[in-house]
Amino acid sequence: MFCLSDKKIDDQQLKQQTLDPSAGGFVCFEGWVRDNNQGKDVQKLAYESYPILAVKEGNKIIAETYEKFDIKKAYCTHRVGLLEIGDMAVWVGVSAAHRDAAYKASRFILDEVKSRVPIWKNETWTDGESGWVEQES
Amino acid sequence: MFCLSDKKIDDQQLKQQTLDPSAGGFVCFEGWVRDNNQGKDVQKLAYESYPILAVKEGNKIIAETYEKFDIKKAYCTHRVGLLEIGDMAVWVGVSAAHRDAAYKASRFILDEVKSRVPIWKNETWTDGESGWVEQES
Amino acid sequence: MIHLEILFFGKLKEIWNTKKLTMQTTSSNIEELYTELLTKASEVPHKASIKVAINDEFVDWNSQLKDNDSIAFLPPASGG
Amino acid sequence: MIHLEILFFGKLKEIWNTKKLTMQTTSSNIEELYTELLTKASEVPHKASIKVAINDEFVDWNSQLKDNDSIAFLPPASGG
């Protein structure tokens, strides 16, 4: 399942949802707000989203993941709104019988979410300026 | 750092050690004892190790990881002794500025640990039999 | 004449200086509507990178418009 | 004659029916020692998959032995 959250992401709860007694492997990715990005000192940032479409597209990605990879469970939550340095921006968790599927599915979800889910990052830098950030490769 | 542990792995503490304010991504792998393996129902299992050599080889892998990938921190802990279903057998965590390095370094550590670190799995099945398990591909 | 709601996201809000506007138009598809909207833009955006949605569904640039549609223009995603 | 300690791990413990033995030998390297030990094995293991350590360091099969060395024979790792 894919969710948007305007509060701190509860990664422990998400992990509990992802666990499965028949799964031997669990891969999780967490993206945090760094104190710097693309050479600038970041003070805080905001993620804007198009909520209905974001949830729809995110869940389409999760459904594709279940089709493409031999996994047990997959969850992804993306934070929106105002975030501080060190806040978690995105959490992706996958459980699977074998490690290869868990790694590949996790990476697939993260890459697809970054490129397809309508969410946009606006950074405020320590010099007081702010701006929309283009996707990094 | 690579460690062996004969007690339950404290993944929360390991994660705290791996976090880094300049790192934007964190990838973690957890391997659990499944209720089945290679078609047999597993009741419990034991990991035997050659402790001195295991710690030496594990830390050699961590050092290679820092050389090969642009990462901030990497930790791996492997459980040894008697484990129950659902216990965590191995934890690998990597923090990095970018997701690609975090994923690749995490997978590298896991694969190398599985193939090079002198640890052996002995499973007890629900039919009462037990045996040494060959590495899965 | 049809009545439309137009939504802009991310940096497109700055280019059109609004996040939402309503309008009457004779444009019959997205392509024509976009050309019409360009007259109100403060700069010309990189069109190839823009995605379009009608009523909360991604659609093609040649999609037809009908009365009371809600059209969204989306710059490249930058989440994660 | 040198005095050695031999350690077996994993399923090699079952093949040699012990996890540790001490012995006197005239074998001068690992290769010779292994051939000598095969006479005490309950079955012939897959040699190509066995790794060897002397005094807690991985070594080659042609490594020389000296008095009081501790030699370990390790089947393929199966951790993780």
pLDDT (tens digit, 9 = 90+) per residue, C19-63?
999 999 999 999 999 999 999 999 999 999 999 999 999 999 999
Q: For chain B, give the mean pLDDT.
A: 93
Locus of tokens 């129902």: B41
pLDDT grade, residue B128 (50/70/90)?
confident
Which residue in B47, B56, B132 is closest to D79 by CB distance? B47
D46 occurs within a structural domain: yes
CA distances from A66 to A94, A117, A118, C69 (A): 10, 18, 21, 33
Phi, psi of A18 (to 5 degrees): -85, -25
pLDDT tens-digit series, residues D13-22: 999 999 999 9
Which residue in B50, B56, B133 is closest to D78 by CB distance? B133
Bridge partners (DSSP) listed for residue C67: none
Note whether C3 and C22 are within 8 A (CB): yes
Q: List chains adjacent to chain D, taking adjacency as at least 3 C-beta pairs closer than 8 Å.
A: B
Which is nearest to B26 in space by CA: B94, B72, B87? B94
CATH of the domain at C45: 3.10.20.30
Strand ranges, E, within B73-129: 73-79, 81-84, 88-96, 119-125
Which is nearest to C61 in space by CA: C22, C26, C35? C35
Note whether D10 and B50 are within 8 A (CB): no
Which is nearest to A88 in space by CA: A6, A2, A8, A14? A8
pLDDT of residue B110: 98
Contact assignment for B53 to D14 by CB distance below 8 Å: no
Q: How many folded domains does chain C comprise? A: 1
DSSP D64: B
C79 occurs within a structural domain: no
C80 occurs within a structural domain: no
pLDDT tens-digit series, residues A106-128: 999 999 999 999 999 998 888 88
Contact assignment for C7 to A90 by CB distance below 8 Å: no
Report whether pLDDT(D75) > 90.
yes
Contact assignment for B24 to A34 by CB distance below 8 Å: yes
Note whether B76 and B92 are within 8 A (CB): yes
State which residue of chain B sits closest to D54, comparing Cα positions. B53
ipTM of this complex prediction, to 2 decimal places: 0.91
pLDDT tens-digit series, residues A35-94: 888 888 888 899 999 999 999 999 999 999 999 999 999 999 999 999 998 899 999 999
D39 occurs within a structural domain: yes
D69 occurs within a structural domain: yes
Neighbours of D3 (CB within 10 A): 12
A129 Cβ neighbours under 8 A, 6+ residues apart: none
Contact assignment for B134 to D9 by CB distance below 8 Å: no
Q: Round to whole Å and give the CA distance between A9 and A89.
A: 8
pLDDT of residue A111: 97
Q: Does B99 touch chain A (CB under 8 A)?
A: yes
D62 occurs within a structural domain: yes
Which residue in B23, B29, B37 is closest to A32 by CB distance? B23
Q: Which of residues 2-61 of D touch B (CB under 8 A)?
A: 7, 9-11, 14, 51, 53, 56-58
Q: Minimal Cα–Cα distance from B24 to chain D, Å?
A: 27
Which residue in A52, A121, A122 is closest to C56 by CB distance? A52
Q: CATH topology for A2-132?
A: Aldehyde Oxidoreductase; domain 3 (3.90.1170)
pTM of the model: 0.93
Phi, psi of D37 (to 5 degrees): -65, -30
Q: Which amino acid is at B26?
A: F
Q: Minimal Cα–Cα distance from C35 to chain A, Å?
A: 23
D20 Cβ neighbours under 8 A, 6+ residues apart: D5, D6, D7, D8
pLDDT grade, residue B126 (50/70/90)?
confident
Neighbours of D37 (CB within 10 A): 20
pLDDT of residue A127: 87
Q: Round to whole Å and give the CA distance between B116 and B111.
A: 8
Whether chains C and A touch (3+ CB pairs under 8 A) is answered by yes
pLDDT of residue B137: 47
pLDDT grade, residue A137 (50/70/90)?
very low
Locus of tokens 């193939």: B115
D79 occurs within a structural domain: no
Q: Which of residues 61-80 of D touch B (CB under 8 A)?
A: 72, 74-80
Q: Round to whole Å and give the CA distance between B136 and A81.
A: 44
Q: Count CB pairs under 8 A between chains A and B.
A: 75
Q: Round to whole Å and give the CA distance between C38 and C6.
A: 13
CA distances from D76 to B49, C44, D10, D72 (A): 12, 62, 9, 13
Collapsed DSSP state (helix, strand, coil) of residue B24:
coil
Question: Domains of chain B: which residue ranges?
Answer: 2-132
Report whether pLDDT(B129) > 90.
no
Report whether pLDDT(A22) > 70.
yes
Encoded tokens for A30: 């967490």
> Residue C20's domain spans which residues?
2-74
Contacts of A110 in chain C (CB under 8 A): 80
